[in-house]
Chain A
Amino acid sequence: MDDLVKEFLVESYENLDRMDRDFVELEKNPSTETLGSIFRAVHTIKGTCGFLGFNKLESVAHAGESLMSLLRDGALKVNQPITDALLAMVDAVREMLASIESTESEGERDDSALIARLGALQRVEAAPAASATSAAPDSQPADTDTDLANLSLEELDRLMEARARTPADPAGESRLGEILVQRGQTTMKQVDQALEEQDKGDPRRVGEILVQQGAAKPADVVEALQSQGEGRAVSDSTVRVDVGLLDKLMNLVGELVLSRNQIMQYAVSQEDATFAATSQHLNLVTGELQEGVMKTRMQPIGNVWNKFPRIVRDLAAACGKQIRVEMEGAETELDRTIIEAIKDPLTHVVRNSVDHGIENPETRTAAGKPAEGRLLLRAFHEGGQVNIEITDDGGGVNADKVREKAVQKGLINADQAARMSERELVNLIFLPGFSTAEKVSNISGRGVGMDVVKTNIEKIGGSVDVQSKVGQGTTLKVKIPLTLAIIPALMVTTGGDRYAIPQVSLLELVRLEGQQAKKGIEMVHGAPVYRLRGNLLPIVYLNGVLALNDRGQSSGGAAKNQAKHAGMSLDFESARYKHLLWKARLRAFLDGREALSEAQAVDHTQCDLGRWLYGTGLKEYEHVPAIHELERAHAELHSVIQQIVKLKHGGEKQAAEQAMAQVEPLSQRIIDLITEVEQKAIEAGVTNIVVLQADDRQFGLVVDGINDSKDIVVKPLGKHLKGITAFSGATILGDGKVALILDVIGISQSANVVSESREKTIATAAASSQEANGERESLLVCRFGADGRVGVPLSLVARLEQFQVSAVERSGEQEVVQYRNEIMPLVRLSRVLGENGAGAENKDILDVVVYREHGKSVGLVVEQIADIVEERITVKAERHGGHLLGTAVVQGKVTDILDVRSAIDSVNPDYLAQAEAA
């Protein structure tokens, strides 16, 4: 296709889009400026298509232009029929443009009806046209900006003065004239005349002269000046570039980043100073180039939203509803490809809101809502992602109806439905084949929309979620990653391979060593969790998710492997147990209670322990002397056992018993050695946890090792691998090897971290583990007074000790006792609670509850211990003051629960506070 035609199409589409927006704006807020903008757009289209020979297009545009001209001059007022007709013209023009695009001709069409309609509207309400000769144009439509209605020539003059950029610039002047001519508001001849006047020494400006000669209207001149000002600012500083070229640049930059990474990797091992400097420079420049090119692909989301006012207007009118569109953050920028991908989904959602979400005016007013519905579009950057929200204040999504419909359509079963939370139910609308609309209109309701929306958004790596309140409205939230191509990532190792984790999902890194590594990960209802600053973090094992077994090959049973990798490579506990079991069996055999064949007394390389030893154990722990001794002892044991069995079978009972006597010390030694190796394994063990964010949830990913972090180029996975949810792409590392990029959301889903029910489980576990509520608690119950009972929560306590009264010394006013190389202050409970327990002072031995915090111990002296109970405690009636947490029913009796910390603080306020601050 001809370049000229191509450009014409691109520009015209833009103009049409602008016209759409302007028309909607016009209905709400008629202003000369908007009218002028629309007029110019139509005029430009008319002019160019005439030049290119598109006659049908020209006639339609011409009819529109004439109508626009009357509107702009104030001869006609804007009303709905006019707007409708003009929008119809816009649509007709669009159709013809589309036809030109595909067939290079306007196609067979007859727009005479449209043209007639536009013409008819021109004749209605023809008010007296503004006389061109008067200085002040009369009968303007109500407009709010620059009050052109009553400008005198002097004021006009000042305006022009203020707006002209370079006052005495003749080039600037003739442009003004050109603009006016272009717009058909004056003729070239007039402009020439005016310029001549100027040359002759007339001090007035072109615009002034023209107005005074009656060759142009003041309104036109002012507008021309305005656009001149804008035009220069905008058009000089932008350039049209073919999108294909930008994509190509993007690819090249991506390759450059890869090479840069390789050079940087190589540079590390090089001594040459020049090379180092040059490669560093290359690094910087590439980084900036990358940023720059990525910016070129960014477009404001407003470009997509701008179509919505028109769509909403038309739809609302068709449905008989009143809806206004509000936009926040239209300038938020997104990568071009993302915009392309979300255009349709967003449109569908908007149409849904209008069609099904927002109710008609009667229903709304009956419900106490304003008759006009509100559709709010919001966009903002947050956490490396673009958030887009579409909110309506309509009827909301009825969770019950959704549940019914889903069960009815067989999308879920009744069981599942009963267990789902409201939020989960509402999100069911994303299932394929779902729609609760009673009527299927040609707008929406066919049940193919929302799942396509979700798929399309997830395809580009985003997520979508819907929240709703019945009667109040619905909000759809979309989150999309900022850029697709080059992202910062953290490299980790698991199962011998490297993987990349996008930094945008990364919250923090936790490293557990030795004892912490073993104990740090606790089990709550069968699920591994880690206590991160008080909150329970669900744990996922990467080698479990990827189903890697010891030999590093993929196999099924991810869950099974997960549990396996939670421990060491040998289950020491199990090894000890099995050994003892065998010993018992051997004994029973000798006593004649059990049968044992020679074949069953296997060789030392064949039993579980043996296989582990000769498989990986000896290698892994070769630096641990205990393992070598273990090997020897173990081999010896096996040979003795074989001997025993043989002897017994041979009838030599006595000899067998003698051999058995050897077994006992051997066995003991083996148990000890296993424990020793286990200890070493624990100490050497390191657990790396990568704390990640998926949607709104956090979880910890356990990996073998953590490497460096770097920028990587995201390359898409081929079609064979696209379906694997754990991976979102691949990249080439500095050494040329390929590494897979983990899809954080995919992993969290497959490990079931993100389901709400599990979240609740963890939440309750967390809650109960933090307070003495609802879970079994150990409580030390003390009597005091007549029938008072106080419970001291033992979960907070390190030990129960007993001291001789004589061991109690004084440090100043504070009673203390020497305890484990510390001087530990004592706090007498009876004093704290304000009671003097009878006979408490007469004991020789003090029962002390040692409370430990921040490395310091405090002893709580309790008297008259009634009992130590383990019960489910529910603290009721939170009482503050009196050093009590509240009251609970323990063993059927009312018991106050002590606030240990408060009690301690009352006696020695600074002690623990100091320790905390230290």
Chain B
Amino acid sequence: MAEVKQFSTFYLDKLLFGVEVGKVQEVIRYQDMTRVPLASAVVTGLINLRGQIVTALDLRRRLELSERAAERLPMNVVVRNGEEAVSLLVDEIGDVLEVEDETFEAPPETLQGVARELIRGAYKLKDRLLLVLDTEKTVNVGV
């Protein structure tokens, strides 16, 4: 009996990542951000989400990937952790994918650094890997 899970997916530096669909509040296009001086580099700024002020985290920086090209405007994946919403900035939005448990594998021992903490594992899709992010850990940077 295969268990099926749904993931909201997105692209970062050509890699495909996913977070549990239940954690995602919404996905919206690029929003103007107000930068926050003195905050960690991962915090790109604050966005106005229908009257709510939401902190936006740059996922590339969070995962220590290369910087996004200046002309590329990121998309917002707003996740909800408890009562607080946080927006994750990603390159492009992917589809909502259904995956089967049996295709899941834990991350390899060779995975180093911050990625090891934040990536729970991968689902082997037909032609690529879906890397699963630990939403809570990802959002709790420096807190």
Contact = CB atoms under 8 A, between A and B. Distances in A.
Interface residues of B, number: 26
A738 B47 contact: yes
Given A546-B37, A548-B37, A720-B55, A738 B48 contact: yes
A719 interface: yes
A740 B55 contact: no
A554 B38 contact: yes
Interface stretch (B28-36, B89-97, B102-110, B121-129): B28-36
B22 interface: no
B48 A255 contact: no
Contacts, number: 68
Nearest to A255: B51
A726 B54 contact: no
Interface string A542-569: 0000111000001000000000000000
B142 interface: yes
B142 to A, nearest CB: 7
A740 B32 contact: no
B84 A721 contact: no
B55 A554 contact: no
B36 A721 contact: yes
A715 interface: yes
Interface residues of A, number: 25
Interface string A257-286: 010000000000000000000000000000
B62 to A, nearest CB: 11
B54 to A, nearest CB: 7
B48 A726 contact: no
A737 B33 CA distance: 8
B141 A726 contact: no
Given A732-B51, A737-B48, A720 B141 contact: yes
Interface in A522-538: none
B37 A730 contact: no
A727 interface: yes
Which interface residue of A497, A721, A727 has the most chain B CB atoms within 10 A? A721
A715 B53 contact: yes
Contacts of A720: 39-40, 43, 55, 57, 86, 141-143
Contact of A732 (B35, B43, B45, B48): B48
A727 B34 CA distance: 13
A718 B54 contact: yes
B34 A738 contact: yes
A832 interface: no
Contacts of B33: 738
A724 interface: yes
A730 B46 contact: yes
Contacts of A548: 37
Nearest to B82: A719
Given A718-B86, A720-B141, A720-B143, A730 B39 contact: no
Given A546-B37, A715-B52, A717-B55, 16 more contacts: A495-B37, A497-B34, A547-B38, A554-B37, A719-B140, A720-B143, A721-B36, A724-B39, A730-B34, A732-B53, A736-B48, A737-B48, A738-B47, A738-B48, A740-B34, A740-B36
30 contacts: A495-B37, A497-B35, A546-B38, A547-B37, A548-B37, A554-B38, A715-B52, A715-B53, A717-B53, A717-B55, A718-B84, A719-B84, A719-B140, A719-B143, A720-B39, A720-B57, A720-B141, A721-B36, A721-B39, A726-B37, A727-B38, A731-B53, A737-B48, A738-B33, A738-B45, A738-B53, A739-B34, A740-B34, A740-B36, A740-B46
Q: When A and B form their complex, which 6 residue pairs have the shortest distance between CB atoms, in order from nearest?
A: A546-B37, A738-B34, A718-B55, A738-B46, A554-B37, A715-B53
